[in-house]
Structure 1
Amino acid sequence: MECTLCGHHKTYKHGKTSKGSQRYYCPACKQSFTETFDTLYYRRQIKPDQIRMVLQAHSEGSSFRGISRITNLAYNTVVSIIREASVKGQMVHNEQVQQVEVEEIASDEFWSFVKKQKNCLQNELIVGDCWVGMTQAQGSGLILANRVGKHTDEFITQLVANTEGKTGCQQWNTDGWGGYERVLTGVVEHSIGKEQTQQLERTNGILRQQTGRWHRRQNKFAKVWEHTEATIRLVVTYFNWIWIHSRKKNTAAMRAGLTTAPWNWDDLITYPTLL
């Protein structure tokens, strides 16, 4: 077994933990570890199937408390699993979505809110209106970047900067919001019109209907800003790497040439973060 700490190719069995898990010892870094180290299974006294069920249920629209009731897990355990999975999902996105060949980029946002819609003070930056901005590769449908924030020029600037780190494409298609005209300047070719962003509008609709906290007129709205950020990271990972298009029979990452086969939850759960 390869060492998960230093990558050394040979390790040795080194007894077992109090729970019966096999431990290994690395002669190179002189550290011991278990098989589940650096995974979401590490030090969790719950079944692997339950962790996969939590992630699938949340990606398909169930709320934190709803998942807690279905799986009979503590609410804080559910939150912890989703938050850690979202961090791994962001690492996957940062490392794997690089230098993507794209002919055109579509950018759009959709509105949600956190905790309350009205009577929000100016200094309350983590409640009230919460916009989710995304950029998508036209054709493959791969989500290149996403941001959560207030609907400001700074919000769009961050979204554009994140997208430019993923591809060298200079053709942008957006709707008519003026923030894009103020931010997209210089050598960028900028086309404005809803007909240019139909694929991304459809993706936004899928994510809104698939994610419980973004449904309109219901009580599953977000209560904590950080939970919305964790949800969008997890949902984007699910959409890009795991979700198989019913007609095309492949994932967005496959259509973009980033992988040759669909991922599953174990690929995300065990994704290495140390090496």
Structure 2
Amino acid sequence: MMVEGVSIRAISRMTGASKNTVVKLLADAGEAFSDYQDRTLRNLTCKRIQVDEIWSFVYAKQKNVPSAKAAPADAGDIWTWTAIDADTKLIPSWYVGARDGAAAQHFIGDLAGRLANRVQLTSDGHKPYLEAVEQSFGADIDYAMLVKIYGEAPGPAGRYSPAECVGAVQRRVEGNPNPAHISTSYAERANLSMRMGMRRFTRLTNAFSKKAENHAHALAIYFMHYNFVRIHQTLRVTPAMAAGVTRRLWDLADMVRVLEEWEAKADA
């Protein structure tokens, strides 16, 4: 249920387990899967990487935090930075935090440490990427920005509709990026899958994370399942298999095994 993004209360109702038990499993599994992917997703031979950010919020939207009752210190808007390999669809790195320069440097620095060779990188026009990429890669990268131009939101329900993209401009930043591969489409589609596949990312509902830690744990579980268990419809294998991280198809029992091994190590 967790890998399909079912809410904690819904899991509790359907299984009969207490909410505290479900939350503890969420936290333990999140830490175990984050640790496993941190150790395993290394020396990757990716060629084309796309990065993007997806918005959500913890406890209350940023504008409502001042008037929110008993809001925790981490309440407000929260962003998930994601990177995806355009060829294997592997998500090698993600970061949960703000949308500022410090977050960009942490995210891009982590991504750079997982790559074994020079890559072509494409991001949107978010300015913090510029310094972060320069700091982590220097000149050893082919980097371009795809800056999209948006018009007015269509129709009378513009408040709830995304603005219409009326154009895009390619900007070379470093190296010699191939114009044919300057795109963020895969990253944006992966973010859409996240929003559709995790209840806490759903817009315009009362579904949201109550704690930032649980938000991060849910993402670690989602990405573990996405990378190692879920067969990509186009590739016909999992992203981890396509990227050479594993040679076999995993199932949920393998995820349980990783959790149990982590728990045994923690108790030792």
8 Å contact from structure 1 (residues 104, 138) kept in 2: yes
1:247 deviation in Å?
Answer: 3.8
- Could you state the TM-score of these two structures normalised by the residue count of structure 1? 0.75
Q: Does 1:180 align with 2:125?
A: no
**Aligned-residue offset at 1:103:** 0.8
Q: Residues 235 and 242 of structure 2 are in contact (CA less than 8 Å); yes or no, is this contact kept in structure 1?
A: no
SS class of match (1:143) = coil
Contact 1:88 / 1:269 at 8 angstroms: preserved in 2?
Answer: no
Query: What's the CA shift for 1:135?
Result: 1.0
| Alignment check: 8 A CA contact 2:46 2:119 kept | no
2:36 aligned residue = 92
* Matched letter for residue 132 of structure 1: T
Q: What is aligned with 2:87?
A: 139
Identity in percent:
27
- Please give the root-mean-square deviation of Cα atoms over the aligned residues, in Å: 1.8
Q: Rg bigger for which structure?
A: 1
AA at the equivalent of 2:83: T
Which residue among 103, 107, 120 is the counterpart of 2:65?
120
Spell out, residue by residue over 1:89-138, the C-alpha distance to the aligned partner (whole angstroms, 9 max, x if none): 112202221101011211110000111112436x9751111000011112
Unmatched tracts of structure 2, length 5 or more: 149-181
Deviating 4+ runs (over 2 angstroms): 168-171, 246-249, 271-275
What are the within-5 Å matches in structure 2 for residues 93-108 of structure 1?
93-108=37-52
Q: Is the 8 A contact 1:152 1:179 kept in 2?
A: yes
Contact 2:51–2:82 under 8 Å retained in 1: yes
- Counterpart of 2:184 (choices 197, 205, 212) is 197
Equivalent position to 2:7, from 57, 63, 69: 63
* Structure-1 separation of matches of 2:123 and 2:47: 14
If the length of structure 2 is used for normalisation, what is the TM-score? 0.77
- CA drift of 1:252 comes to 0.5
Higher helix share: 2
**Deviation of 1:220 (Å):** 1.3
> Aligned with 2:51: secondary structure?
strand
